[in-house]
Amino acid sequence: MRVARARRWLGALVALGLAAPAALAQAETDTGAATEPVATEPAPVEPAPAEPVAPAPVPAPRPRPVARKPVPSTGRLDKTEDTVAGGIHWRVRTDAGAIHVWVPPGYDRATAGTVVYVHGYYTDADGAWKGHDLARQFKASGQNAIFIVPDAPSGNGEAVKWPALTDLRRAITRANIKLPDGPTVVVGHSGAFRTVMQWVDHKAVAQVILLDALYGGQRAFDEFIGTGKRAQHHKLIVVGADTAQGSSAFAKKYPFAVVRDRMPASSGEFSKREKSAKLLYVRSQYGHMQIVTSGKVLPVLLRLTPLRHR
Tens-digit pLDDT profile for residues 228-247: 989 999 999 999 999 999 99
What average pLDDT does the segment 113-125 reach? Answer: 98
- 246 within a domain of the structure (yes/no): yes
Neighbours of 309 (CB within 10 A): 9
Q: Which residues constitute the domain of residue 11? A: 1-40
Q: Are residues 244 and 113 in the same domain?
A: yes
HSE-CB at 295 with a 13 A cutoff on CA atoms is 9
- 85 within a domain of the structure (yes/no): yes
- 56 within a domain of the structure (yes/no): no
**Cα separations in angstroms, 302 against 132, 153, 224, 309, 310:** 16, 24, 19, 10, 13
The three-class DSSP label of residue 221 is helix
pTM: 0.77
Q: Are residues 85 and 194 in the same domain?
A: yes
Neighbours of 266 (CB within 10 A): 10
- 67 within a domain of the structure (yes/no): no
- 253 within a domain of the structure (yes/no): yes
Q: Are residues 143 and 10 in the same domain?
A: no
Question: In the chain, how many domains are there?
Answer: 2
- Smallest Cα–Cα separation from 308: which of 19, 109, 135? 109
Q: What percent of the chain has pLDDT over 90?
A: 75
Q: Are residues 128 and 198 in the same domain?
A: yes
The three-class DSSP label of residue 61 is coil
Task: Say if strands 113-118 and 145-150 run parallel, antiparallel, or are unpaired.
Answer: parallel
pLDDT at 285: 98
Q: Is the pLDDT of residue 50 over 80?
A: no
Q: Are residues 148 and 286 in the same domain?
A: yes
- 185 within a domain of the structure (yes/no): yes
pLDDT at 76: 87
What one-character DSSP code corresponds to residue 45? -
**For 52, phi and psi rounded to 5 degrees?**
-65, 135
The three-class DSSP label of residue 164 is coil
- 52 within a domain of the structure (yes/no): no
- Which CATH number fits the domain that encloses residue 243? 3.40.50.1820
Q: Are residues 36 and 105 in the same domain?
A: no
